[in-house]
Structure 1
Amino acid sequence: MDAMNLSNAKTSLNRLVEGWRGAPGKPVFIGPYGVPEAVITPLVVWQRLLALAAVAWDIETAALRAARLDCTPGPQPLSLRELSTDAGCAKPPVPVLESRGVPRGGADLAVWPQARDDARQLMLAATPETAMAVLRVLAEVLQGRAARVESRCGQGTVYSVADVDGLHAAVVTTRTTPRPPGRRGGGSRETVELVAIDKIVW
Structure 2
Amino acid sequence: MPITDAYGQGFSSLDYGDVPDLKVMGEGLLKLTGKTVMSFVSASARAAQITSPVAGMFTWLDDADVLEVYDGSAWVDIPIPTYTSTTGATAASGFSLASWSGRRRAGVTLANIMVTRTGTTLNAGSDGNLADTALATLPPGWRPTQLIVAGVDDGFGCGMAVVDVTGLITLRTWSSNGSIPATRNLRLCTTWL
With the shorter chain as reference, the TM-score category is under 0.3
Give the greater-gyration-radius structure (CA): 2
Q: Which has the higher strand share?
A: 2
TM-score between the two structures when normalised by the length of structure 1: 0.27
TM-score between the two structures when normalised by the length of structure 2: 0.28
